[in-house]
Amino acid sequence: SPMRYKRLGTAGLKVSQFGFGSWVTFGRQVDTGLAKEQMAAAFEAGVNFFDNAEVYSDGQSETIMGRAIRDLGWKRHEYVISTKLFWGIHEGVVNMKNTLNRKYLMQAIDASLERLGLDFVDLLYCHRPDPETPIEETVYAMSDIVASGKALYWGTSEWSAEEIRAAWEIADKRNLRKPVVEQPQYNLIHRARVEVEYARLYEDLGIGLTTWSPLASGILTGKYVDGIPEGSRASLSGYGFITKQASDAALIEKVRAFVAIAREAETSPAKLALAWTASNPKVSSVILGASSVAQLEENLGALEVLDRLTPELCARIEGVFA
Ligand code: NDP
């Protein structure tokens, strides 16, 4: 099945319905050589959207992705790339951590572009909301970054519906560039924000979605049903919340039932979970994560499952996690 390209909400930009991101992997499990192989495989399959963030491996993820793109010789018009700002990478420096203030945003975008080796990113996200900066200050700064050409579009990640609407309305009232996209977690285990909390935003504001952790960090592949395999994400230090989820007996029982349904449907749990996420019409792009080329190739196979995902099958798997 060929890749489809969907508009980012009502914006004109089109992104592949599966994108590829670098959280946890680039700089920790994936070096520049493997990153290049993965990105080449994704691109070959029609992926045009590559997701990154300043904070991923403290900037190394941007450096690796930028170098991979240069080594692969991709032309700037052939791909869409994002980064995200909020956490900062300057430990202990006032104004540079956990913020969306103007000073941080203006300096952080320049440093990200330098690491990526690019003149602009296509999408720039506010990685989290910042309760200590007025939304208006952030909207002005993001709008100025877009006006300067350092980003083509801007959006938010894990902002509340109320915060997204406030930002959009400030931009509307002040004739500034509006946020066009939100990046929330969305998978069979985490549905409420996308399906309930944001329900009115899609039509009212024209917001598109690029969604993260479609496999709940790998849990939906079924890889944790018999414990935590060596080298898996839940085995890594620094991801205690994932280790906890991966060993949650009640959740693992549901995953077991889900794995059985996937087998019955003659596919893999990973592909079924990914196809389910991509089938939501509000989702512009499902961002894939992978620590190997084989995982990425399996996951891109979700395209075939999308074609045969029936409402009955969806209802069954939703029932398991309800
Ligand atoms: P997933 O939920 O799909 O988890 C990906 C991980 O699951 C892989 O790295 C791998 O981990 C495991 N995995 C994937 N496929 C398979 C497979 N077929 N078989 C077995 N194991 C598999 O996505 P991510 O959590 O990585 O999120 C995707 C992207 O979303 C990120 O790269 C990032 O760009 C973005 N993101 C954004 C956030 C935000 O706040 N805006 C937050 C989190 C992510 P392993 O092999 O190590 O077990």
Residues 56, 125, 140, 153: which is the catalytic one? 56
* Rounded distance between C-alpha atoms, residue 305 and residue 151, angstroms: 34
Count Cβ atoms within 10 A of the Cβ of residue 127 and give its class: 0-12 exposed, 13-18 middle, 19 or more buried: buried
Work out which ligand 1 atom sits closest to the CA atom of 128.
Answer: 40
| DSSP letters spanning 20-66 | EE-TTTBTTTB-HHHHHHHHHHHHHTT--EEE--TTGGGGHHHHHHH
How many angstroms does the Cα of residue 19 sit away from the middle of ligand 1? 11
Residues of the chain with pLDDT under 70: none
How many angstroms does the Cα of residue 277 sit away from the middle of ligand 1? 14
| Torsion sign across C-alpha atoms 221, 225, 228, 230 | negative
92: left (phi over 0), alpha (psi -120 to 50) or beta: left
- Helix or strand or coil: residue 154? strand
What pLDDT digit, counting tens, does each position of 97-135 carry? 999 999 999 999 999 999 999 999 999 999 999 999 999
* Rounded distance between C-alpha atoms, residue 286 and residue 284, angstroms: 7
Predicted pLDDT at 1: 80
* Rounded distance between C-alpha atoms, residue 53 and residue 125, angstroms: 9
Those residues with Cβ within 8 angstroms of residue 248's Cβ, 6 or more apart along the chain or in another chain: none
For strand 5-7 and strand 14-16, is the pairing parallel, antiparallel, or unpaired?
antiparallel
Those residues with Cβ within 8 angstroms of residue 288's Cβ, 6 or more apart along the chain or in another chain: 18, 19, 20, 21, 42, 214, 274, 296, 299, 300
**Residues with C-beta less than 6 Å from any ligand 1 atom:** 21-25, 29, 51, 127, 157-158, 183, 212-218, 221, 223, 232-233, 270, 287-291, 295, 298-299
Residue ID of nearest Cα to ligand 1 atom 19: 295
For the record, the structure tokens of 173 come out as: 């009232």
The single residue listed with the structure tokens 């050409």 is 149
* Contact between 53 and 61 (Cβ < 8 Å): yes
Instruction: Please compute, for residue 28, the number of CA atoms within 13 A of its CA located in the half-sphere on the CB side.
Output: 18
Work out which ligand 1 atom sits closest to the CA atom of 187.
Answer: 2
Residue ID of nearest Cα to ligand 1 atom 5: 289
- Helix or strand or coil: residue 115? helix
| DSSP letters spanning 248-287 | -HHHHHHHHHHHHHHHHTTS-HHHHHHHHHHTSTTEEEEE
* Rounded distance between C-alpha atoms, residue 148 and residue 146, angstroms: 5
Does the annotation count 56 as an active-site position?
A: yes
Predicted pLDDT at 115: 98
Beta strand residue intervals within the chain, DSSP E:
5-7, 14-16, 18-21, 49-51, 80-85, 121-126, 151-156, 179-182, 208-211, 283-288
pTM above 0.90, yes or no: yes
How many angstroms does the Cα of residue 15 sit away from the middle of ligand 1? 19
* Rounded distance between C-alpha atoms, residue 300 and residue 288, angstroms: 9
